[in-house]
Structure 1
Amino acid sequence: MPNPARLRAAALTATALLLTSALAGCGEDAGDEDLTGQKLDWEGCPAPSASEGGGTAPSPLPDGDRWQCATMKAPRDWADPKGDTIKIALIRAEASGDPGRRIGSLVFNFGGPGGSGVSALPAFGEDYTTLRTRYDLVSFDPRGVGRSAGVKCENDQQLDAYFQQDMTPDDAAERTTLLDNTEAFNAACQKRSGTMLPHVRTTDAARDMDLMRQVLGDTKLHYFGISYGTELGGVYAHLFPKNVGRAVFDAVVDPTQTPEQGALGQARGFQLALDNFAQDCTSQAEDCPVGDTPQDVKDRIAALLKRLEAKPIPGVFPRVLTQSAATNGIAQSLYSKDFWEYLTEGLEQAYDGDGRILMLLSDSMNGRSANGEYSNIAAANAAINCSDDSPRYSAEQVEGKVPEFRAASPLFGDFLAWSMVSCTDWAVPGAADRPDVGAAGSAPILVVGNTGDPATPYEGARRMVTALGKGVGVELTYRGQGHGAYGSKNTCVRAAVDGYLLEGRVPAAGTVCS
Structure 2
Amino acid sequence: MRLRQWGVAGMAGVALLGAGGVPALAADGVPARLKAFYQQQLSWAPCAALAGLECATVVVPMDYAKPGAERVQVAISRRKATDPAGRRGVLLVNPGGPGGSGLGLPNRFAGQPVGRVYDVVGFDPRGVGQSTQLRCEASLLELPQPSRPTEAQLPNFTATARDVEDGCVRAGGDYRKHVTTRNTARDMDVIRGALGEKKINYFGYSYGTWLGAMYGTLFPRNLDRSVLDSAMDPNKTWHEQDLDSAHSIKFNFDSWAAWTAARHKTFRLGTTPAQIRAGLDEIAAALATKPVGGLGDVTDLDTFTGFYTRYRAVWAGFSQQVRELLDSLHGNGNPELAKRNAALLELAKRSLVKPTSAGAFQAVTCEWDWPSDQRDYYRDMRQWRDSHPYGRTVSFLAPTNCAFRGFTRTEPLPRITRTAYPTGLVVHAEGDTQTAYPNGVAMAETLRHHLISVPNDGEHGQYGSGGACVDSTVNRYLVDGILPATRSECAGVDKPADIPVDGATVQAPQGEPDVVELATGIVRRLETSGIH
TM-score bin (small chain): 0.7 to 0.9
Q: CA deviation at 1:308?
A: 5.9
Residue segments in structure 1 that go unaligned for 5+ positions in a row: 1-26, 47-56, 61-65, 368-374
Of 492-501 and 241-250, more deviation after overlay is shown by 492-501
The AA in structure 1 aligned to 2:453 is T
Match of 1:41 in 2: 43
User: Which has the larger Rg?
Assistant: 2
Match of 2:63 in 1: 77
- Does residue 183 of the first structure (1) align with residue 183 of the second (2)? no
- Does residue 362 of the first structure (1) align with residue 349 of the second (2)? yes
Q: CA deviation at 1:216?
A: 1.9
Q: CA deviation at 1:399?
A: 2.2
- Does residue 203 of the first structure (1) align with residue 182 of the second (2)? yes
Q: CA deviation at 1:295?
A: 5.1
Structure with larger RCO (C-alpha < 8 A, sep 6+): 1
Match of 2:206 in 1: 227
SS in 2 for 1:497: helix
Separation of aligned partners in 2, 1:276 and 1:201: 37
The 1:363/1:121 distance shift into structure 2, 3 A limit, reads: farther
Match of 1:53 in 2: none
Match of 1:101 among 79, 86, 92: 86
Q: CA deviation at 1:149?
A: 2.3
Q: CA deviation at 1:360?
A: 4.3
Partners of 1:255 and 1:435 within 8 A in 2? no
Match of 1:477 among 453, 460, 467: 453
Q: CA deviation at 1:144?
A: 1.8
- Does residue 505 of the first structure (1) align with residue 482 of the second (2)? yes
Separation of aligned partners in 2, 1:110 and 1:314: 37
The 1:501/1:464 distance shift into structure 2, 3 A limit, reads: same
Q: CA deviation at 1:409?
A: 3.9
Per-residue displacement from partner, 1:48-97 (whole Å, max 9, x unpaired)? xxxxxxxxx33x4xxxxx1222221111112212221111122221112x
The AA in structure 1 aligned to 2:101 is S
Match of 2:115 in 1: 132
1:340-419 → structure 2 map (5 Å cutoff): 352=338, 355-365=342-352, 376-377=356-357, 379-386=359-366, 388-402=367-381, 405=384, 409-412=388-391, 414-419=393-398
Of 253-262 and 335-344, more deviation after overlay is shown by 335-344
Match of 1:115 in 2: 100
Partners of 1:114 and 1:142 within 8 A in 2? yes
Q: CA deviation at 1:485?
A: 3.0
% identity of equivalent residues: 28
How many residues align structurally? 450
Partners of 2:225 and 2:424 within 8 A in 1? yes
Q: CA deviation at 1:106?
A: 0.9
- Does residue 87 of the first structure (1) align with residue 64 of the second (2)? no
Match of 1:144 in 2: 127
Partners of 2:157 and 2:399 within 8 A in 1? no
Q: CA deviation at 1:398?
A: 1.4
Residue segments in structure 2 that go unaligned for 5+ positions in a row: 1-27, 326-335, 492-532
Match of 1:372 in 2: none
Separation of aligned partners in 2, 1:335 and 1:42: 42
Per-residue displacement from partner, 1:255-290 (whole Å, max 9, x unpaired)? 122334312211111111233345556767994599
Separation of aligned partners in 2, 1:77 and 1:306: 54
Per-residue displacement from partner, 1:113-141 (whole Å, max 9, x unpaired)? 1211124444x345x52210111222111
Separation of aligned partners in 1, 2:103 and 2:125: 10
Partners of 1:405 and 1:417 within 8 A in 2? no
Partners of 1:111 and 1:229 within 8 A in 2? yes
Match of 2:17 in 1: none
Separation of aligned partners in 2, 1:389 and 1:261: 10
Partners of 1:346 and 1:356 within 8 A in 2? no
The AA in structure 2 aligned to 1:458 is Y
Separation of aligned partners in 2, 1:435 and 1:362: 36
Partners of 2:149 and 2:385 within 8 A in 1? no
The 1:154/1:279 distance shift into structure 2, 3 A limit, reads: farther
Separation of aligned partners in 2, 1:382 and 1:305: 33
Partners of 2:307 and 2:391 within 8 A in 1? no
Separation of aligned partners in 1, 2:387 and 2:371: 22
The AA in structure 2 aligned to 1:203 is R
The 1:346/1:115 distance shift into structure 2, 3 A limit, reads: farther
TM-score by structure 1 length?
Answer: 0.75
